Amino acid sequence: MQLRAGDFVEVRSKDEILSTLDDKGRLEGLPFMPQMFQYCGKRFKVYKRAHKTCDTVNVTGGRRLAHGVHLDLRCDGEAYGGCQAACLIFWKEAWLKPISPVQAFPADSSQFVKAGTAHCSEDDVQRATSTDSIRHPGKTRYICQATELPDFTTPLPWWDITQYLEDYKSGNATLGRLFYGFAYLTYYHVTKAWRHRLGRPGRWVYDKFQALRGGIPFPRRPGDLPLGQLTPTCSLNLQPGEMVRVKPYKEILATLDRSSKNRGMIFDAEMVPFCGGVYRVKTNVTKFIDEKSGEMTSLKTPAVILDGVWCNSCYSNRKMFCPRSIYSWWREIWLERVPQDAQHQ
């Protein structure tokens, strides 16, 4: 029985989960990470059905995942060198049991998965989080759900219509969201609005129409600065809990080069809907695991994560309606501090 967004579940016991894992702490290639044990026996609401995801390792587009869901739980990075990416965790249905008796799974979780190839212990799960780097001897290569994504997913072509039916049936997306998403993609390709010069008329018409209905301007524009020119920066020394306002899109474009990057960090189309909004700083980002190499990487110019601000996959070509909800990273030059007196008005 497939879980849907909004269903309530209970995470199975540690022994039940360990019985589903192989000697590398995986189920059908999906690693069970050490920090997930703390949720055993607790109840949560299903955030989204993870029947698909985006390929952030090889950047090939969409990927299909069997029997997966997302709860509203994110990786704390504790077992992974303090990685600050705060990725949404993948859960196999075999690790969960619905609270509603109508949806209850059989008690034997082995009916959902192949038996593990060897007995797995909690220590095995912990040891499976890292190994020595092959590319750079002496460095650690971390192994988490994000780095191993190609192993537990399969290619999903964007034209496979079954994924969009599943988006709706699972409760991940409404009919309205599906309609507007497809309308945007159709306009994007037909008018070639993504092209720099050829797409100018398409972007102009799009912006005029959106202005009439109070919508979001065309979200995929190149920055104002030429490639090779050093992009500007600033330091606000923002701290978790502070309130900030995202600058208007036009002002942010003035900080980006023609590849829409500021000092190597892209300002993605999925960030445009948040322009002008006020949000709370959740955390600073100075280091993260490179998902391709598995090695810890430090940001030369720090960034921040804003509370509740993540990719909604509204404008993501070839991976529309992805439920992964990856946090957006923000340069401080794209933000402005909201005075405390204004916060209480």
User: What pLDDT, on a 0 to 100 scale, did the predictor assign at position 1?
Assistant: 61
Integer Cα distance of 151 and 269 in angstroms: 28
Instruction: Judge whether 138 and 128 are in contact, CB under 8 Å.
Output: no
The whole-number pLDDT of residue 104 equals 45
- What's the CA gap between 299 and 293, in Å, rounded? 16
Nearest C-alpha neighbor of 41 from the set 111, 95, 1, 108: 95
* 38 within 8 A of 125, measured Cβ to Cβ: no
| pLDDT profile of the chain (345 residues), mean per 10 | 91 96 96 98 97 96 96 96 97 92 46 53 96 85 97 96 97 96 95 89 95 94 94 95 97 97 96 97 96 95 96 93 97 93 56
Strands (E), the chain: 8-11, 26-27, 30-31, 43-49, 52-54, 62-64, 68-74, 88-92, 96-98, 130-132, 140-142, 154-156, 243-246, 261-262, 265-266, 278-289, 296-306, 335-337
Nearest to 59 by CA among 317, 331, 302, 294: 317
Cα separation, 2 vs 336, in Å, equals 44
**Cα(307)–Cα(86) distance, rounded to whole angstroms?**
11
Q: Which residues is 245 bridged to in the sheet?
A: 278, 336
Nearest to 243 by CA among 336, 177, 165: 336
Q: Decide: 8 and 45 in contact? Cβ < 8 Å.
A: yes
The two tokens of residue 110 are 């082995």
- The whole-angstrom distance between residue 156's C-alpha and the CA centroid of its chain comes to 17
Question: CB under 8 Å to 103, separation ≥6 — which residues?
Answer: 1, 3, 7
* 32-35, long-range: CB < 8 A, 24+ apart: 32/95, 32/125, 33/75, 33/79, 33/89, 33/125, 33/129, 33/144, 33/145, 34/78, 34/79, 34/122, 34/125, 34/126, 34/129, 35/75, 35/76, 35/78, 35/79
**Which residues 6+ apart lie within 8 Å of 161 measured at CB?**
none
Determine which helix (DSSP H) or strand (DSSP E) holds 187, and give its type and residue range. Answer: helix 175-190
141, β-bridge pairs = 131
- Residue 110's pLDDT is 46
Q: Where are the domains of the chain?
A: 8-156, 173-218, 221-345
Strands 140-142 and 130-132: antiparallel
* pTM (predicted TM-score): 0.91
Looking at residue 116, what is its pLDDT? 42
Question: Tens of pLDDT along 155-188?
Answer: 999 999 999 999 999 999 999 999 999 999 999 9
**pLDDT computed for residue 317 by the predictor:** 86
**What CATH architecture is 221-345?**
Roll (2.30)
Helix (H) or strand (E) segment spanning residue 182: helix 175-190
Q: How far apart are CA 124 and CA 26, in angstroms?
A: 10
Instruction: Give me the pLDDT at residue 181, please.
Output: 96
